[in-house]
Structure 1
């Protein structure tokens, strides 16, 4: 871990990432990269260049991908990994994390999240505000779990899936990779096919 942090993405998700990093109080300097050249400051932090300049900062900075889109975040983080970048995990101080929880690099855990024991969370995930993830869950790489979602025990969420705000998932349910759920969705049985699902209980649309 280095003493400077560079965040790719200076709006939306990137701002929340910066807020977590500031509250963690582990970096002497924090700055952004963003492709919108009209953004000079965000969260009171300087935007020091465009995202394609990230590789130039690898030696001196930890680099975090603060981009909300799962596929874009995956593409950028995998390139950084190939180049040998130091990619931290960002965990808000108000998070509650149980024993034997494994959280991989590039994942952001927001305020008010509860993660119970024996859960594994992959690379580049977004575990958003006030989400709860119960025991023995497996959240694969580059998943976005939106605010206020609740996952019961022994749930598996496939990579690149996006659970919409307030999604509820019953225990012992598997969700395929690349899925999306609508706001307030309730998942009570396995989702085996990639697609978009809405409703109570969910149906494919």
Structure 2
């Protein structure tokens, strides 16, 4: 059965997802990109990867055979887009997992998640809805990533780490075991997190420390 897919977004992440789709299809999946959505007022070409670019999500109302993925890299815009799709048309979301990703059989992944190549999710991890894991990340045993959490390329989480809803970890960040990163927190690129991060807090450095505003 072919999955008819619509992407919300037509930028760099959408291009990475389409490349993952090609690899999935080469290994026996059947996923057909139908269209991409961009917000009104944003500059965008009329087509993306040979499919139409649509400005109004209501164009897909009643198309119950479609599945959606939000291809936006930042947590807050991704959350707004997912809410808009649910409220406007009752969209159904699907997950995209690159065939180069290693997933432990005991781990669970929520709808709308995107996991890109050469990442690994080991034993008993729990990933919420619309989580984004970029290439080269490690999600170790018993980790929890809440909805809309985002790992930039090369992030490594040791075991029993919890990443709160909408938190963002920058490229190359590392987190030691049993750390809690609060909702909507930001961890800077290359940071080494050895202490819990409060909700909404921004930390950076090695070891990671809160950003102090002057």
Report the secondary structure of 1:78's partner residue. Answer: helix
Give the TM-score normalised by the residue count of structure 1: 0.91
Deviates more, 1:18-27 or 1:29-38: 29-38
Partner of residue 111 from structure 1, selected from 113, 117, 140: 117
Report the secondary structure of 2:147's partner residue. Answer: coil
- Contact 1:33/1:54 (8 A) holds in 2: no
C-alpha RMSD over aligned residues: 1.9
- Contact 2:23/2:99 (8 A) holds in 1: yes
Q: Within 5 A, what are the aligned runs for 1:1-205?
A: 3-25=3-25, 26-35=30-39, 36=42, 38-42=44-48, 44-53=49-58, 55-56=60-61, 58-82=63-87, 83-205=89-211
- Contact 1:116/1:134 (8 A) holds in 2: yes
Could you list the runs of 5+ residues in structure 2 that have no partner in the other structure?
Answer: none
- Compared with structure 1, are the counterparts of its residues 34 and 28 closer, same or farther at alpha carbon in structure 2 (3 Å cutoff)? same
CA–CA separation in structure 2 for the residues paired with 1:149 and 1:138: 14
Give the TM-score normalised by the residue count of structure 2: 0.88
**What is the number of equivalent residue pairs in this alignment?**
204
- Contact 1:58/1:85 (8 A) holds in 2: no
Deviates more, 1:140-149 or 1:3-12: 3-12
CA–CA separation in structure 2 for the residues paired with 1:152 and 1:158: 15
Could you list the runs of 5+ residues in structure 1 that have no partner in the other structure?
Answer: none
- Compared with structure 1, are the counterparts of its residues 30 and 24 closer, same or farther at alpha carbon in structure 2 (3 Å cutoff)? farther
